[in-house]
Amino acid sequence: MPGDPIGAMLSDRSGDAALEQRLRAAYGLDAPVLEQFATYVRGVVRGEFGLSYRFVGVPVVDVLRDSLRISPLLALSALLIAVPLGVTAGALAALRHNRWADTSIMAVMIAGISVPNFASAAFLVYLLAVRLNALPVAGWGTARQAVLPVIVLALQPTAYIARLARAFMLEVLAQDYIRTARAKGMRERIVILRHALPNILVPLLTTIGVIFGTLLTATFVVETIFNIPGLGRQAIQAIFARDYPVTTAVLLLFTFFYAGINLVVDLLYGVIDPRIRLERRR
């Protein structure tokens, strides 16, 4: 890694050996590398990530405190829109299999997956904020300012979930128990809602972890576009300011979130699907 952070902090006072000595000690940079690493790991376990290089003497935790709530909130809001919307679109497409509704829904969805979020952000900002003047271009703090970022974040997950939901639904609709339900004269609405839908939720759940991971990465981009003071933008700014403690802390946090969500998903299987519970008991 290039650059000596202490040298950068001293800048025009670079001759001041006593100050340099004190800063090195405060940042623990005077210890051997392995000891520095051990100290860092011990700190992380206690929820401390050392001191920021850019804001001299300020703990990383304080730099990130306000951001810590923003990024997960954005990602979860997007997920709350994407899951119902994606499942509905996918299920509708499957019920109209190979007819024009199916084809057109799927055409929109593959476009939705393909167009990167910053490109769709450009279109949406132009249309909704510049042309129609309906929403603010950027910023953070009001509900209106949150609309565009959340929509942009939700687009790709919605499309991804819709494609999966369609595939799972087609598989479920071909099962014997669906034919049985229909054969005994059950109303189609009940067949779909009570018999088919619950059975596509379990395989969909397995993908929520992956989707949450892509959403976390997407917050880097969306927070940069809309000037939102979240973890993603903090990390990017820290990279350019060579504030390695902040960068490392954000990337570590994102990896923890990701692993945490995947763990929760794994545990939820048993709760949601009785078959998996029975399997385990055997």
Partner 1 sequence: MSTIEIVPEQERGEFRRRFLRNQNAVIGGALVAVAVLTALFATSLAPHSYTETNMLLVWGEPDAAHPLGLDSLGRDILSRILIGARVSLGVAAAVLTLTLALGTAIGMAAAYFGGWIDTVAMRVADIILAFPELIFAILLAAVLGPGILTVVLALAITWWPGVARLARSLVLGLRHEAFVEAAVASGTRPAAILLRHFLPNIVAPLIVRASIGVGFIITAEATLSFLGLGVQEPTPSWGGMIRDGLTVMRTDPYLAISASAVLGITILGFNLLGDGLRDLLDPRARDR
Q: Which residues bind partner 1 (CB under 8 A)?
A: 1-2, 110-111, 113-116, 118-123, 125-126, 129-130, 137, 163, 166-167, 170, 213-214, 216-217, 220-221, 224-225, 235-236, 239-240, 244, 247, 251, 254-255, 258-259
Q: How far is the CB of 113 from partner 1 (least distance, A)?
A: 7
From residue 193, alpha-carbon distances to 173, 188, 196 in Å are 12, 9, 6
Identify the three-state secondary structure at position 59.
Answer: strand
Q: Which is nearer to partner 1, 53 or 220 (CB)?
A: 220
Q: Which is nearer to partner 1, 146 or 232 (CB)?
A: 232
Q: Which is nearer to partner 1, 150 or 170 (CB)?
A: 170
Q: How far is the CB of 277 from partner 1 (least distance, A)?
A: 27
Q: How far is the CB of 103 from partner 1 (least distance, A)?
A: 9
Which is nearest to 230 in space by CA: 269, 257, 191, 202? 257
- Alpha carbons 144 and 136: distance in angstroms, whole number: 7
Q: Using an 8 Å Cβ cutoff, are 194 and 123 in contact?
A: no
Q: How far is the CB of 225 from partner 1 (least distance, A)?
A: 6
Q: How far is the CB of 201 from partner 1 (least distance, A)?
A: 17
Q: Using an 8 Å Cβ cutoff, are 138 and 229 in contact?
A: no
- Alpha carbons 9 and 20: distance in angstroms, whole number: 9
Q: Which is nearer to partner 1, 26 or 127 (CB)?
A: 127
Q: Using an 8 Å Cβ cutoff, are 109 and 156 in contact?
A: no
Q: Which is nearer to partner 1, 20 or 102 (CB)?
A: 102
Max Cα separation, the chain? 89
